[in-house]
Structure 1
């Protein structure tokens, strides 16, 4: 078993550390890319294992690194299933809207099961101090929690397909006349927009409270109100920023037109860049605040996670990484991933309530007593 600090004071805050290097990861990444191309994507499962093993192995807490233990064949099986489902959806869409809708409804019905299997695969193949993480494969609870969101999304699919089918039939009977849109067709997208923070809260809470380390379950203290507050604030800031930018650009454009009527292209380019920066900030704001919200509300055995990612720094990472990848024709992808992982780890901590070595030892004993659950062969990685 890996060593660590055996005298951790109660309430001591322990940082996560990431020691990966861009040069080391580049050699792994370039081989992964080459072999994935040569094998027409088949090697991508092995590439994912090698990548995760590198990032897990270079991420440590209390001087003990994490481990990724997945079998590439299980990942390949999941990707084959996902590819078959994609082909079914694609070709059904070329056949008829009704067939496409039927496949979409099937995918919606299978979503909770896929989520459970994917989470189970990911966590059961992750470990720290020789103790595996775990996920409760309770399909009944999964379908119970997502019943209402599934009804909303499924209802929208059914209504949309029915409307499209009605429009196609009217066109076939002679007509180019417009088909009246029922009042309830735009209602479903509106309901989904209003329910999105609640649905995301349900998804995050389900994933957290059914996760575990050894025999200890995780707890989640976040609420739906936290998610609504996050999205409302982001929307209002984005709206206000958009209005201010539009007004400033309008005033500037009017002034420039009087001085130099031949500069509309410059004004349009400046406006485009400004709005791209605004939406980049909104993207960074949501990603950062959501990560902080999730981590700061997770507890396992009295030990609490802490995250204080900064929006400005994350936006800089997203923008600079994107530009570096574009100008290097993709060769700086490893560098971008390493610097992002290093920053995330540096802003993540664990508030330990006691000795983590003793905690890991107790969970190892509980896990050994429980044994391995039969049915692990049905865990697959579908990318959820």
Structure 2
């Protein structure tokens, strides 16, 4: 497996899954969420990960996910030991003065931000320890509490510097995660540094600042007459779109440069994800979401119009009659609740199909590994059974896939 020049041929990462297959799995899972009061999400998450892992092939061998739903459920139940007292604290703060409530909620917010760092690291540890390739298990060492303190301290510095310290924070956290990652008995190495990020970050930072300033000036000029016309929001919309493009541009460079700094002995990873490809995923997501909401909106209008026809009599809409139907008709209320769940489900489905799956496919398509034959003598290590799951990450919604 070498080039004519004697250098080893890069081995591509191949993803074989389809959007239709994932969509069918998600629809089945969403239908089962209702009768199980949401508990089926642990099984849905497990099947979804097995879909992503099993369709990702490296040198002809697919990844394998060995985690199960019970582990995720147990982890979630353990996380309740933290959140039940927090809910009690929220209730207590709601009975206090406005000043005490603001201070209390702020303190809880800081605590949750710190805990989210711990949760992110533990969730990554769980996923790696349940991931195999060629029968060899990945793992993550290091300290989740140490990572949480490191992330929290860097976050404070980023806040104090108005975001200017972000490249240093990002490089440091990337390094900590990968320097403590293992494949069997072999440890990953990370050669990336802040020097690879400061250029694209500060360019994006300055461009975003200029775009924001110009957008605000044009918006202020539109308010010169004291009246706000719809056209006055056009500069803000254009500015928001340009800012989004700059953020994606930087994200693509951070992702490509940091992942391309990862190595495992003689095996080296290179990844290239373009900003245009990332933008394309968001454009597809926007059109898919718009189409979904249009279909749901038409369906909802037809159903509500049939159940509360008198509220739409005379070509108008009478909110009092409509509210009386909600109070007096269980069917109407149930239809509204079901419609709300459909909207949430539609958003979640489109997000997974066009952002989650799209992101995974872009990284896989842009990835290649050289020196992969050097991994044939890696020895396996046992599964880290201390990890019950990733309940805190699930509760804080900071998990991945």
Taking structure 1 as the reference length, the TM-score comes to 0.73
Contact kept in structure 2, 1:201 and 1:224, CA below 8 Å: yes
**Partner of 2:377 in structure 1?**
362
**Partner of 2:297 in structure 1?**
none
Query: Deviations 1:83-136 (Å, cap 9, x if unpaired)?
Result: 553454344234234665665566566566544432221101011111111111
Distance change (3 Å), C-alpha of 1:78 and 1:199: farther
**Partner of 1:163 in structure 2?**
none
SS of 2:26 mapped into structure 1: helix
**Partner of 2:316 in structure 1?**
none
Cα displacement (A) at 1:302? 1.7
Contact kept in structure 2, 1:197 and 1:228, CA below 8 Å: yes
Cα displacement (A) at 1:17? 1.1
Contact kept in structure 2, 1:88 and 1:103, CA below 8 Å: no
Cα separation, 2, equivalents of 1:191 and 1:249: 27
**Partner of 1:133 in structure 2?**
138
1:377 aligns with 2:383: no
SS of 2:382 mapped into structure 1: coil
Distance change (3 Å), C-alpha of 1:224 and 1:92: farther
Query: Deviations 1:304-327 (Å, cap 9, x if unpaired)?
Result: 111111112211211221331232
**Partner of 2:282 in structure 1?**
318
1:343 aligns with 2:362: yes
2:14 counterpart (13, 17, 25): 17
Q: How does 1:170-185 map to 2 (within 5 A)?
A: none
Worse-matched range after superposition: 56-65 or 109-118: 109-118
1:64 aligns with 2:83: no
Cα separation, 1, equivalents of 2:62 and 2:372: 19
Cα displacement (A) at 1:265? 3.1
2:75 counterpart (56, 75, 78): 78
1:242 counterpart (193, 212, 219): 212
**Partner of 2:129 in structure 1?**
124
Cα separation, 1, equivalents of 2:388 and 2:172: 22
1:55 aligns with 2:52: yes
1:207 aligns with 2:177: yes
Contact kept in structure 2, 1:209 and 1:219, CA below 8 Å: yes
1:30 aligns with 2:45: no
Distance change (3 Å), C-alpha of 1:274 and 1:192: closer
Superposition RMSD on alpha carbons, in Å? 3.4
SS of 1:11 mapped into structure 2: coil
Cα separation, 1, equivalents of 2:281 and 2:86: 36
**Partner of 1:180 in structure 2?**
none
Query: Deviations 1:23-60 (Å, cap 9, x if unpaired)?
Result: 21111110111112321221111101100111111111
Distance change (3 Å), C-alpha of 1:249 and 1:189: closer
Cα separation, 2, equivalents of 1:41 and 1:189: 36
Taking structure 2 as the reference length, the TM-score comes to 0.70
Worse-matched range after superposition: 208-217 or 233-242: 233-242
Distance change (3 Å), C-alpha of 1:78 and 1:144: closer
Distance change (3 Å), C-alpha of 1:195 and 1:321: same
Q: Which structure 2 segments of 5+ residues have no match?
A: 94-100, 294-345, 394-398
1:353 aligns with 2:368: no
Distance change (3 Å), C-alpha of 1:26 and 1:205: same
